Structures are given as structure tokens and as C-alpha cells.
Amino acid sequence: MILKRAFLYSGLVILFLVIFLPGFSKLQDLRDRNKELEDRIKQLKVENTLLNTELKRLERDPLYQEKIIREKMGLVRKGEVPVKIIPEVE
């Protein structure tokens, strides 16, 4: 009788593990993925804030506009001579 109960309890434990262990593993995987996605969202929000600040500055600040145009597009004012510095090759 005791042996039958031991087998019964062992069988129930094994059945419980077979049924619930894969679900628990999947739950952990989903929690990890959720954490990764939340971290990515935080990064993107920071990047979005920086880009919005840059956009507002480009829209409102003529000196900043000039700086960006000069640096990125290589434009110069009338009468200025553009100078390119070529690094030495060693």
C-alpha cells in the first residue's frame, strides 16, 4: 500500500512537471524578451528626445543651421576660400 502511494505521488509529480515545466520555461523566455524590448524602448525614447532637440534647434537657430551646412555640405560664404587639409600618408 505504501509502495502504491509512493508510485502514485511520484507519477503525479512527474505529470505535474511534464505539464507545467515547458510553460514555465516559455514564461521565463517571454519575461526576458519583454525586458529586452523595454530596454530598447528606453533607448529609442532617449534617441527620439535628442533628435527632437536637434530638429528644434535646426528650425530656430540660424547660427546652428549655418554651422551644420558648412560642416556637412561644405558650403562657404561669398568671398571665402575653402581650404581642404589632406592628412599625411605615413
Task: Give residue-wise pLDDT tens across range 1-31.
Answer: 778 888 788 888 888 877 877 788 888 999 9
Structural domain boundaries, residue 42? 2-73
Exposure of 61 in the CB half-sphere (CA atoms within 13 A): 12
Sign of CA pseudo-dihedral 57, 62, 68, 73: positive
* Domain assignment present for 16: yes
* Domain assignment present for 83: no
* Domain assignment present for 53: yes
C-alpha Rg value of the chain to the nearest Å: 32
* Domain assignment present for 88: no
Average pLDDT, the chain: 88
d(CA 8, CA 1): 10
Give residue 82's pLDDT.
79
DSSP, collapsed to helix, strand or coil, labels residue 55 as helix
Q: Of the ranges 20-29, 47-56, 59-68, which is most confident?
A: 47-56
* Domain assignment present for 84: no
Count the domains in the chain.
1
